[in-house]
Structure formats: C-alpha cells, structure tokens
C-alpha cells in the first residue's frame, strides 16, 4: 500500500476493498512521525485518528452509508476551528485556544467521513509567505529543506507534497494557498469570493480571503470543492452555486478558448526560469487549441500597495478582539487597569503581526485615510474594472504564480519589502474576488515552479477544466522525500 496516491485514487481503492481506512491512517501517522521532525508541517496531530478510521471501516464493512471521503486523511491549516481542538493561528496569543465549534468546511467534511489528521503550520494569523512568521517555527520545503515552503499555508502545501495527508485546506488572502502550492509543487486553489463559507476561518482580511484546497491533482481540487462549496447561512457573503458538480466534464479541454497573458506579471524582476516556464505553458496551451494573447492590466502595478493597505486595515480591526480577556493564554488580570492590561497582553503578537497592526492603525485613521486606505480602495475598484474588461475578451488569464523561485530560509525574513513583492502575481485574484489556481508546472534546479490561471467570478468550473488540460501536459519528477 502506497501513500503516494491522489485523493480520488484513495476513494477508489477503499471502494474496491484494496485498502482499509485504518491501515492508511496508521501508515500516514507513521510517515508523519518519520518525516515531520524535518519538515515541521504539523502543529498538532489527531490522537484519535485511528479510532475514527476504525469506525469508518466498520461502516463500510456493514454496508452503511459512508461519506465520500471514506476516512481519508486531510490536514487543516491551523486557522480553522475544529470543535474541542486547539486552533492556534500560529500565534502565542492563541496558544491555548480550544475552539468550541466547527467551521462550516469542517462540519461539511465530517459529514463526508473525512479524518482530520492534524492541524498544520502557517505564518502567524496567516500574515506572511514563508511560514517563517509562525510562532512555532518554520516549515521546510520537501524539495529542499533549506528552502522555504511558501506561505502562509506552508504547512498545508508541505503535508500534501510530502504525502502526510491526501488533501489539505488552506486559506488565501493574497496568495497564501497558491504561493506555497507553487513552491511545493502541488495544486492550490483560490475560489471565487463567497464560494466557500468562511465561518470558522479566523479572519485576517475578511473582505478578500477564501478557504482553498491544496491537493495533488486538479481533479482532487474539484472533488474537494464539491464537498465544501455553496451557500451557508452562517456566512452572509456566500454565494449559491446551485450545487455545481466541478468534477463532471473536467476533461472538456480548452480548444478555442481565449487566454490573456498578463504583461505586468512577467515584467522586470521575473526569474528567467519562471519566464521560460511561462512561455512553455503558453506554447502548450496553444498546442491544446487555445488562443493566447498578451494583455496589459495597468493597475497590477499598484496592487501590492493597495493589498497591504487594505489587509492591514482589516487585520487591525479583526485582530482587535485578542485582548486575552475571554480566551487566550495564561496571564492574570489582577492589578491591571483595562488599557494597560491589553497593551501588555497583546505583546504576545509576533513581529509581522505587530508591524501590520501598526500600519492598520495608521492607514485608515482620520486625516490619513484619504491618502492611504481610500486610495487603496480606489485601486481595488479600478483593478476590478480592468479585470472585468479583460474577461469580456478572454476566457482565462495566465501568469506564473510567483515571479521568483523558492528562496532559502532566513534569506528574506529581514526584508519585508522584498517579501511583499513576491505577492505581485497573486493579490489581484483576491482584490477582484476572481478564482485562480496554481498548478505544478516544472522543476528548475530542483525547485518547483507553479503556473497560475484566472477566470471570471463563478467560472470556477471552467477554470478547473482549463487547469486540468494544462496539468495533463506536465510530467514531473517525484518529490525527493
């Protein structure tokens, strides 16, 4: 029995009676035990997983109705609530926070008999793109452990890439699913804003972020979307997707489809290897019958600045609740007055969160909002207009997921501005609410390069078809783990 199978292959093999959930879970745990000391994808592992698998095996044996996950191990980014288990957000601030309820995605997956094998690492409160800002130490890239895995859903990407789970859920605020997916050579998906309920996802910048799957194949992503997408009364921003089946017709191809190549996303500063991979991808898409053409999206130049202004503003508000009064870590209130207590309690935030809190206090403040926050909102709406225009002409847009290759741990941690620019190709999908996917495309000097496709809002199904078509042209070496 091999762990190196896709989620859908797992389902098939369990249904055929070739493997048992218990064996697969046991083997997965054993594997985590072996490799995770080096990779540090996991912040906590589900102690009860084997028992849960046993129950599912029993259900299968007795012919009871079984959910479509059949006990497959799924890892969850540690910013989503699973009832009665720790949800730390990679922060000392929530080190002891035990969620009293399930996120909507969690309850949906529970109904499908998924097993949450563990909670995985992230940059503190999902702010970062390397996992180096996790209060519990960084994760390592399975392709080369001296390199960052990307972030902030680094733990998710590592766990999928290194076969520590079948699939993972991450969250994407400015590329936090797609960036580590690209760096670790897995599929990472940021759906249309509102497609997946955020109820139970700990907010960072709530107006633009989405939960997204990280999987080994595009088909697995479609499979996951089938289970977790759709209207949720607990999240007023969710959209009714009429229970679309994302798997059916995934092999429809892209013949005759028009694809725009975003000029600003392959501009100066793009790594030559990334540039040549992009050209290769374009050639392959044309080979599949697509029509590719360059397009300029002018506002992309300002997108990162707008992104950081908006996310800092929302983060400043979303993270205000962490005053340690109702939950948090052990720090008695006796002897403190409210304001002095909270300012001391909030010192537990790490440096990146603190940095963004400070920015978030400033950019929307009276007297500065016009110069910063409101201007950023203007960029957001102009960018959306440009992208909407582009989708009148094109079915999809293409750009490399990250303009550069994975870099070494510690290489950029002290240069926040350089780190910010790594986001240039991913934030557009968040600011405009459009769906985007990163698929493994090639390996350069042993380091992965991912390719990104965008579609118009609610065109998630056709985006997956395009990604699937491109995925079929790619043959990659196995991860050296």
Supply angle C-alpha 153, 156, 162, rounded to 5.
Answer: 135
Taking CB under 8 A as the criterion, the residue among 17, 63, 233, 287 binding other proteins is 233
The nearer residue to other proteins, 155 or 433, going by C-beta atoms, is 433
CA-nearest of 181, 188, 198, 195 to 81 is 198
272 is an interface residue for other proteins by CB under 8 A: no
- Three-point CA angle 185, 189, 191, nearest 5°: 170
Closer of 166 and 457 to other proteins (Cβ): 457
The residue range among 28-36, 259-267, 273-281, 362-370 that interacts with other proteins, by the rule CB under 8 A, is: 362-370
Query: Is 77 annotated in the active site?
Result: yes
Which lies closer to other proteins via its Cβ, residue 315 or residue 449?
315
Contact 82, 46 (CB under 8 A): no
Q: Does 100 bind other proteins (CB under 8 A)?
A: yes
The smaller minimum CB distance to other proteins, of residues 206 and 226, is found at: 206
In the bound state with other proteins, the residue whose beta carbon lies nearer, of 188 and 200, is: 200
Closer CB to other proteins, 87 or 121, in the complex? 87
Point out which span in 36-44, 116-124, 145-153, 311-319 binds other proteins (CB under 8 A): 311-319
CA 55, CA 57: separation in Å to the nearest integer?
A: 5
Report strand pairing: 396-400 vs 291-295.
unpaired
Identity of the residue, 17 or 233, whose beta carbon is nearer to other proteins in the bound complex:
233
How far from 71 is each of 50, 57, 111, 158, CA to CA, in Å? Answer: 10, 8, 11, 21
> Considering the complex, what minimum distance in angstroms separates the CB of residue 235 from other proteins?
5
Residue from 338, 371, 388, 415 touching other proteins (CB under 8 A): that is 338
Catalytic residue among 77, 108, 219, 434: 77
Catalytic residue list contains 152:
yes
Q: From 43-51, 79-87, 152-160, 274-282, give the range in contact with other proteins by CB under 8 A.
A: 79-87
Identify any residues that bridge with 44 across adjacent strands, giving them in sequence order: 119
326 near other proteins, rule: CB under 8 A:
yes
Candidates 399, 380, 402; CA nearest to 309 is: 380
According to CB under 8 A, which one of 7, 129, 167, 201 is a site residue for other proteins? 201
Choosing from 85, 134, 171, 176, the catalytic residue is 176
* Span of 69-77, 116-124, 220-228, 324-332 interacting with other proteins by CB under 8 A: 324-332
* Strand order from edge to edge, sheet including 42-45: 42-45, 115-120, 73-77, 167-172, 210-215, 187-190, 436-444, 447-455, 396-400, 258-262, 291-295
Assess 316 for contact with other proteins (CB under 8 A).
Answer: yes
Shortest distance (Å) from residue 77 CB to other proteins: 12
Give the range of 35-43, 313-321, 411-419, 463-471 binding other proteins by CB under 8 A.
Answer: 313-321
Contact between 101 and other proteins per CB under 8 A:
yes
Q: Is 365 in the site for other proteins (CB under 8 A)?
A: yes
**Chosen residue from 21, 39, 94, 277 binding other proteins by CB under 8 A:** 94
Quick check: is 161 catalytic? no
Nearer to other proteins, 319 or 422 (CB): 319
Q: Which of residues 246-265 bind other proteins (CB under 8 A)?
A: none
**364 is an interface residue for other proteins by CB under 8 A:** yes
Active-site residue identified among 6, 107, 139, 152: 152
Q: Which of 95, 264, 280, 323 is in the footprint of other proteins by CB under 8 A?
A: 323
- 26 vs 369 by CB, closer to other proteins: 369
Span interacting with other proteins, options 32-40, 45-53, 194-202, 391-399, rule CB under 8 A: 194-202
Number of residues located near other proteins, criterion CB under 8 A: 44
Nearest-approach distance from CB 385 to other proteins, in angstroms = 18
The catalytic site residues sit at 77, 152, 176
Contact set with other proteins (CB under 8 A): 79-81, 87, 89, 94, 97, 99-101, 103, 198-203, 206-208, 233-237, 313-314, 316-317, 320-321, 323, 325-327, 338-339, 342, 361, 364-366, 369, 373
């Amino acid at each position: 029995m091999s762990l190196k199978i896709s989620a859908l292959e797992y389902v098939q093999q369990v249904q055929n009676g070739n493997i048992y959930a218990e064996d697969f879970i046991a083997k997965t745990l054993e594997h985590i035990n072996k490799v995770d000391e080096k990779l540090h994808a996991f912040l906590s592992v589900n102690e009860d997983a084997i028992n849960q698998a046993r129950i599912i095996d029993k259900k299968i044996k007795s012919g009871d109705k079984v959910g479509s996950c059949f006990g497959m191990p799924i890892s969850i980014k540690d910013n989503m609530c699973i009832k009665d288990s720790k949800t730390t957000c990679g922060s000392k601030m929530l080190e002891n926070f035990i969620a009293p309820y399930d996120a909507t995605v969690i309850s949906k997956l529970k109904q499908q008999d998924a097993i949450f094998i563990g909670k995985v690492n992230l940059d503190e409160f999902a702010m970062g793109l390397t996992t180096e800002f996790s209060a519990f130490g960084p994760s390592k890239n399975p392709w080369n452990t001296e390199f960052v895995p990307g972030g902030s859903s680094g733990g998710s990407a590592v766990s999928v890439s290194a076969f520590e789970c079948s699939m993972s859920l991450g969250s994407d605020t400015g590329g936090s699913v797609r960036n580590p997916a690209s760096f670790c050579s897995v599929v990472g998906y940021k759906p249309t804003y509102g497609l997946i309920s955020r109820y139970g996802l700990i907010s960072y910048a709530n107006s633009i972020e989405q939960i997204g799957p990280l999987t080994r194949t595009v088909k697995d992503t479609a499979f996951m979307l089938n289970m977790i997408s759709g209207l949720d009364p607990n999240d007023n921003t969710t959209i009714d997707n009429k229970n679309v089946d994302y798997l059916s017709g995934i092999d429809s191809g892209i013949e005759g489809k028009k694809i725009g190549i975003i000029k600003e996303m392959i501009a100066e500063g793009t790594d030559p290897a990334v540039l040549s991979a992009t050209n290769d991808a374009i050639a392959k898409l044309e080979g599949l019958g697509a029509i590719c053409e360059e397009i300029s999206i002018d506002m992309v130049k300002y997108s990162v600045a707008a992104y950081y202004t908006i996310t800092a503003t929302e983060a400043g508000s979303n993270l205000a609740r962490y005053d340690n009064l109702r939950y948090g870590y052990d720090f008695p209130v006796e002897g403190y007055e409210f304001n002095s207590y909270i300012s001391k309690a909030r010192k537990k935030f790490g440096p990146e969160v603190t940095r963004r809190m400070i920015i978030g206090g400033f950019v929307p403040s009276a007297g500065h909002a016009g110069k910063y926050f409101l201007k950023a909102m203007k960029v957001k709406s102009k960018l959306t207009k440009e992208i909407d225009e582009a989708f009148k002409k094109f079915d999809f847009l293409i750009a490399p997921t990250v303009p550069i290759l994975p870099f070494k741990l510690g290489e950029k941690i002290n240069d926040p501005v350089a780190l910010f620019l790594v986001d240039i190709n991913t934030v557009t999908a968040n600011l405009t609410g459009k769906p985007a996917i990163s698929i493994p495309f090639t390996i350069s000097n042993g380091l992965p390069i991912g390719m990104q496709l965008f579609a118009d809002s609610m065109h998630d199904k056709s985006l997956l078809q395009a990604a699937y078509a491109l995925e079929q042209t790619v043959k990659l070496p196995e991860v050296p783990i």
